[in-house]
Amino acid sequence: MTTIRIEPITAEAFAPFGDLLTPRATPDRMINAGRCERHHALATVERHGGEAIISIFRSEAVSLPYDCTLLERHPLGSQAFMPLGPDAWLSVVAPDDGGRPGVPRAFLVPAGMGVNLRAGVWHGVLTPLDRPADFLVVDREGEGANLEEVAIAPVTITA
């Protein structure tokens, strides 16, 4: 069994897998008569001929240590996850290794931050910590096979 430690998330460390959804240090512009900061186009919805849809996913919580045994990917579209609650959560991702997931990495995503996974990125299921959580999800709906799931040998994730 493989054991991996949770990493703090940074834009650089997460770049091979996607984008962080968090406000920039300075807004791109002020709107609404100067009352609202606009942090514009933090990520792009990859949709390869489909359409972008918005959903809410409600996920059960996990506790550490957590055994990750399933990874999936969406080859035809990106998938963005934005937590709707006040808690940190885990984003488990893996590089592609010849059409199969490589060694996973686990990132601690702070409260109020989301991620946008690029099309084709292997990732674990939603993993809120300690209590259930809701996530706003932006992804692709349309023709074509856009879900691959792979059972993996357990990877234990620890703090």
CATH classification at residue 41: 2.60.120.480
Name the domain count of the chain: 1
Q: Which residues contact 106 (CB under 8 A, 6 or more apart)?
A: 4, 5, 6, 7, 68, 90, 91, 92, 124, 157
pTM: 0.94
Cα 141 from Cα 68, distance rounded (Å)? 26
| pLDDT tens digits, one per residue of 99-154 | 999 999 999 999 999 999 999 999 999 999 989 999 999 999 999 999 999 999 99
Domain with 71, as residue range(s), is 2-158
Cα 8 from Cα 152, distance rounded (Å)? 24
Q: Exposed e or buried b for every residue in 85-115, given b needs 16+ CB within 10 A?
A: eebbbbbbbbeeeeeebeebbbbebeeebbb
